[in-house]
Structure 1
Amino acid sequence: MKILNCKNAEITLWGDGSEERDLLYITDLVGFVRLAIEKQDAPFYLVNIGYGSSIPITSLTTKIIETAKKILR
Structure 2
Amino acid sequence: PLKPTSPYAASKLAAEILAQSYYYSYGLPVVTCRPFNTYGPYQKYNLEGGVVSIFVRQTLNGDRLEIFGDGTQTRDLLYVEDCVDFVYTASRSEQAVGQVINAGSGTDISIADLAKLICPDASKIHLVDHRHPQAEIPKLLCDNSKAHSLLGWEPKVDLESGIQKLKEQLQELCV
TM-score scaled by length of structure 2: 0.32
1:32 equivalenced with 2:121 (yes/no): no
How far has the Cα of 1:49 moved from its partner? 1.5
Q: Which has the larger radius of gyration?
A: 2
- Supply the distance in 2 between the matched residues of 1:47 and 1:41 (Cα, whole angstroms): 10
- Supply the distance in 1 between the matched residues of 2:97 and 2:101 (Cα, whole angstroms): 14
- Detail structure 1 runs of 4+ shifted over 3 Å in the superposition: 2-8
Question: If each structure's helix is expressed as a fraction of its own residues, which one has the higher value?
Answer: 2
- Return the letter of the residue paired with 1:63: L
1:17 equivalenced with 2:71 (yes/no): yes
How far has the Cα of 1:15 moved from its partner? 2.1
- Supply the distance in 1 between the matched residues of 2:102 and 2:108 (Cα, whole angstroms): 13
1:71 equivalenced with 2:124 (yes/no): yes
Would you say the 8 A contact 2:64–2:124 is kept in 1? yes
Higher RCO (CA 8 Å, separation ≥ 6 residues): 1
The match for 1:52 among 86, 97, 106 is 106
Q: CA RMSD in A?
A: 2.8
- Supply the distance in 1 between the matched residues of 2:74 and 2:67 (Cα, whole angstroms): 15
CA deviation profile, 1:16-67 (whole Å, cap 9, x unmatched): 211111122222111111112222523xx5433111111111111112221x
Q: Which runs of 5+ in 2 are unaligned?
A: 1-50, 127-175
How many aligned residue pairs are there?
Answer: 68
How far has the Cα of 1:72 moved from its partner? 2.1
Q: Which runs of 5+ in 1 are unaligned?
A: none
The match for 1:41 among 97, 100, 107 is 97
- Return the letter of the residue paired with 1:72: I
Q: Helix, strand or coil for the counterpart of 2:72?
A: coil
Identity across matched positions, percent: 31
